[in-house]
Each structure stands twice: as C-alpha cells, then as structure tokens.
C-alpha cells in the first residue's frame, strides 16, 4: 500500500460535479475580479464564522499583512509572534516594515506560551500574532487579557485552523482580526491561492476592502496606500461549492486523529488537545527521538511523512539579522527536532490509517530488536572486531 501525505486529486474527483459547475458558471459570466461570487462567498464565510465581516484576498500571507496594515502597524513597530510557524507568518509581518519578536511555544500544544509572551512586551510592541498551529487554537483568553492591558492589537493566524473552537468561539472571531489561507491543502482550500480576513468591526472591514484594492474607496479614488490582493471569482466560486462540507471534513479529520492516537499512544507522543478547545487537525503531529530514521523507514514502506517545520523562523538564514542564537527559544527548538507529521486528509481510508499505524509500530519493534542484538555479548565482540578492522590493527 502507498500512503501519500496529501491527495488533492482524490479530493477534486470526490466533488468534481460541484467544482466543475462552479468554474463553468464563472467562465460563462465573464466576471472575474471583485464580482458576485466573491460577495457571495464572503457572506457565506461570515455565516460560517457566526459573526463579523469577511474580506477575501489573494492568500493567507497577504491576509496577515492586510490585517496588520489596517492596524497601522509599520516601520519600527514590534509584533510578537511564535517562531514555530510557517515562515509566511513572518514574511507578512516584515512586509509591513515591522519587526517580528519571537515568543516560545507551550510544548504540549505547540502554540504561543503566554508567560514568555508577557516577558517580551516592550514599549515598541504594537501587536500579537498568535498562530493556531496544526488546527489547534492558541490560549486566547490570557492573550486577549494581555493585549487589553498593554493596548495591543491581536491578529489571529488561522491559516491552519478554519473551524477550530476555543471555549465555543470560532478561530478568527476573538482577536481584532482573524486571517485565513485557502491554500489547496488547507482544511478548506481553493484550487490555486486564496485567503481572507475576518473582523468584528465594520470600519475595519471597509478599510480592508480598500487596502486589498490599491487603497481605492471608489474607482480611481485612492484614500489610502494599498496593495493588489483579491480573491478571484473562480476561487471564490470553488470555495462556495466546498464550504457546506467543511464541518463534515473537520469531523473526519478528528476521527482520523483519534484512530492514529489509539494506535500509537504507547509508542510515540501523540497530540494533546487543550481542554475546552476543538482541534481540527490540519496536521497530525507526533513526537519521537531519532525522527529522521522513522521518516526514512516510513518512506521505505511507501508512507510519506513530513516535518512542519524543520527550522524555526528565528534560526532561518533570512532572519539572521535579527540575531537570535540557538537556545533562545528552547521549547521551539526541542519540538523542531522531534516532530513528524503523518498523512492527514479527509479522504484517507481506515485501511490506509491502519497501514500507517502498523508501519510505525513495526519500526519500533525493529528498533527494540536491534537494541537487544547490539547489546548481546556476541554482538559486542563483532563490534570490537569491526572497530579494530577499521583502525587497522587487524587486516
């Protein structure tokens, strides 16, 4: 059996009728940018979130940039963010001219550590970007309390957590802004790039609509400096066709996670769900020692496992100028060396999940047999023979 990390082809074929109809409708309409499909999807996504206003944009990176720009964040401002995230979160902060200041993670949930966050607030801090990583939301109540105390804006990066809940509240509806990515492999994905920003404030939403469209309030009237970042009509129509299925897909992701956890909890560290939160498992991430060996072994069994993410943002070459040294974010760096993401998408079958579980279990059985063999006196003799042969003392 072969289990790839993702299978967007299977996803398309499962919904082909509805997707093809949506694309054809747009092609026939001759309307491709800022038209009725976008307005329709924005309304539908607002209903899905249960509150606020939604502005579609070109991708999840722009969504963060637009939200920060709507808060007037720019040069010389500091934005607090985790380094354990997809680097686009950091790209977006830098696009505004602001400096990212890195906060460590809570090792159990991989989300922002509130204690570390508090210790890093300075005069220059203007905003916090909590990242709801892997499908689980950051601990929003204490984050919002700190933001209120220090008068900071909060932009929730929900790229990996559409539909996740924190004490009954949807990802993207707690901070000043919630930003979403519709990258194809996300919990709901476009067939290309796409993104959105949600906000509870009508005024903010009007500002976002100008910012994403060259700063125009109406055609040829540019009231503010903006960018070009729009969710096109074809992608909006494809997203509308899929939105009714999102909850069903998230339920399936949770079932898959439960099956993995049952099958693996005695051999690896399995994900922890924060009490009161609903994790939507964009990624199912385990931890183990020697994870590269496990990934190689799984590849031999035709199971594709990946690492999200192998190098944290503060140690990336691109951000060397920020002068973070190894050891500066200990929980982040430890997680980075031990994490493995297993295949996770709603179309995975139970047979495929069980095959992944069996492959991981057989790896650990082999490891413990290997350990016993290397520890046997007979083998100790063989090893010293090899060492001696290499050093040239026997020929």
Spatial distance between the Cα atoms of 65 and 58, rounded to a whole number of angstroms? 11
Q: Looking at beta carbons only, is 58 or 264 nearer to ligand PLP?
A: 58
Distance of CA 303 to the CA centre of its chain: 21
Listed ranges 86-94, 217-225, 320-328, 380-388: which one lies at the site for ligand PLP (CB under 6 A) = 86-94
Q: Looking at beta carbons only, is 161 or 270 nearer to ligand PLP?
A: 161
Q: Looking at beta carbons only, is 62 or 352 nearer to ligand PLP?
A: 62
59 binds ligand PLP (CB under 6 A): yes
Looking up tokens 């729009």, which residue turns up? 230
Give min distance, CB of 181 to ligand PLP, in A: 3
Distance of CA 247 to the CA centre of its chain: 18
Q: Looking at beta carbons only, is 162 or 209 nearer to ligand PLP?
A: 162
65 binds ligand PLP (CB under 6 A): no
Q: Looking at beta carbons only, is 131 or 342 nearer to ligand PLP?
A: 131
Q: Looking at beta carbons only, is 133 or 286 nearer to ligand PLP?
A: 133
Listed ranges 56-64, 148-156, 202-210, 238-246: which one lies at the site for ligand PLP (CB under 6 A) = 56-64
Give min distance, CB of 158 to ligand PLP, in A: 8
Spatial distance between the Cα atoms of 254 and 262, rounded to a whole number of angstroms? 12
103 binds ligand PLP (CB under 6 A): no
178 binds ligand PLP (CB under 6 A): no
Spatial distance between the Cα atoms of 329 and 29, rounded to a whole number of angstroms? 52
175 binds ligand PLP (CB under 6 A): no
Spatial distance between the Cα atoms of 54 and 196, rounded to a whole number of angstroms? 7
195 binds ligand PLP (CB under 6 A): yes
The correct pick among 66, 117, 131, 348 for binding ligand PLP (CB under 6 A) is: 131
Q: Looking at beta carbons only, is 183 or 249 nearer to ligand PLP?
A: 183
- Torsion angles phi and psi, residue 160, rounded to 5: -105, 10
60 binds ligand PLP (CB under 6 A): yes
61 binds ligand PLP (CB under 6 A): yes
Site of interaction with ligand PLP (CB under 6 A): 59-61, 85-86, 88-89, 131, 157, 159-160, 181, 183, 193, 195
């Amino acid at each position: 059996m072969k289990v790839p990390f993702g299978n967007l082809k299977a996803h398309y074929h499962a919904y082909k009728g509805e997707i093809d109809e949506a694309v054809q409708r747009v092609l026939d309409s001759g309307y491709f940018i800022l038209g009725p499909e976008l307005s329709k999807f924005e309304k539908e996504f607002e209903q899905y979130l249960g509150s606020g206003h939604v502005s579609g944009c070109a991708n999840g990176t722009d969504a963060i940039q637009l939200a920060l720009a709507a808060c007037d964040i720019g040069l010389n401002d500091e934005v607090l963010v985790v380094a354990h995230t997809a680097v686009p979160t950091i790209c977006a902060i830098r696009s505004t001219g602001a400096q990212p200041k890195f906060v460590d993670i809570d090792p159990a949930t991989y989300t922002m550590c509130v204690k570390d966050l508090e210790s890093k607030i300075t005069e220059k801090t203007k905003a916090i970007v909590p990242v709801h990583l892997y499908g689980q939301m950051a601990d929003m109540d204490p984050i919002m309390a700190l933001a209120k105390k220090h008068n900071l804006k909060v932009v929730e990066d929900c790229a990996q957590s559409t539909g996740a809940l924190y004490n009954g509240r949807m990802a993207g509806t707690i901070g000043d802004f919630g930003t979403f990515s519709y990258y194809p492999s996300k919990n709901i994905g476009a067939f290309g790039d796409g993104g959105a920003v949600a906000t509870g404030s009508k005024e903010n939403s009007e500002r976002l609509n100008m910012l994403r469209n060259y700063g125009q309030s109406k055609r040829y009237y540019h009231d503010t400096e903006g960018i070009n970042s729009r969710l096109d009509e074809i992608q909006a129509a494809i997203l509308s066709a899929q939105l009714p299925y999102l909850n069903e897909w998230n339920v399936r992701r949770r079932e898959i996670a439960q099956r993995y956890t049952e099958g693996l909890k005695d051999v690896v560290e399995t994900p922890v769900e924060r009490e009161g939160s609903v994790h939507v498992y964009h990624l199912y991430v385990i931890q183990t020692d020697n994870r590269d060996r496990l990934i190689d072994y799984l590849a031999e069994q035709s199971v594709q496992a990946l690492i999200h993410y192998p190098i944290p943002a503060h140690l990336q070459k691109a951000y060397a100028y920020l002068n973070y040294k190894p050891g500066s974010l200990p929980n982040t760096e430890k997680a980075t060396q031990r994490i493995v993401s297993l295949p996770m998408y709603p179309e995975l079958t139970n047979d495929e999940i069980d095959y992944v579980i069996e492959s991981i279990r057989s790896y650990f059985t082999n490891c413990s047999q290997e350990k016993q063999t290397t520890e046997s006196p007979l083998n100790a003799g063989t090893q010293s023979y090899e060492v001696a042969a290499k050093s040239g003392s026997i020929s």
